[in-house]
């Protein structure tokens, strides 16, 4: 079922990647904070263990990306 925000626009589905809500999906106004600020979680909160695992993985990805960036920079 299509869900509309206060602007009468179709909401967008996103996934949160913040430390406290990693992996939890939500719907929000397509215009974000510039729109009507419509926001609703569509998933139940991620358990503490799940959050710890996801944020650990995110930190590893960030480190790897830094790594690759340096590697590419040195190639030039
Ligand atoms: Zn809106």
Q: What is the pTM of this model?
A: 0.70
pLDDT at 58: 87
pLDDT at 70: 61
Buried b (16+ CB within 10 A) or exposed e, 29-44: beeeeeebebeeeeee
SS3 at position 2: coil
Instruction: Give residue 39 CA to ligand 1 midpoint distance, Å.
Output: 9
Give the phi and the psi of residue 12 in degrees, each rounded to 5.
Answer: -105, 145
pLDDT at 31: 92
End-to-end CA gap in the chain:
50
Q: Which residue intervals of 1-76 are DSSP H helices?
A: 48-75
pLDDT at 10: 96
Instruction: Give residue 51 CA to ligand 1 midpoint distance, Å.
Output: 29
Would you give per-residue pLDDT tens digits along the chain (76 residues)?
789 999 999 999 999 888 888 889 999 999 987 899 999 999 999 899 998 999 899 889 888 877 666 655 665 5
Instruction: Give residue 26 CA to ligand 1 midpoint distance, Å.
Output: 14
């Amino acid at each position: 079922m299509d869900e509309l925000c206060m602007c009468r626009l179709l909401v967008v589905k996103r996934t949160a990647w913040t430390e406290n809500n990693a992996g939890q999906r939500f719907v929000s106004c397509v215009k974000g904070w510039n729109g009507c600020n419509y926001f609703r979680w569509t998933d139940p909160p991620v358990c503490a263990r799940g959050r710890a695992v996801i944020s650990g993985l995110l930190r590893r990805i960030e480190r790897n990306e830094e790594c690759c960036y340096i590697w590419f920079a040195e190639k030039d």
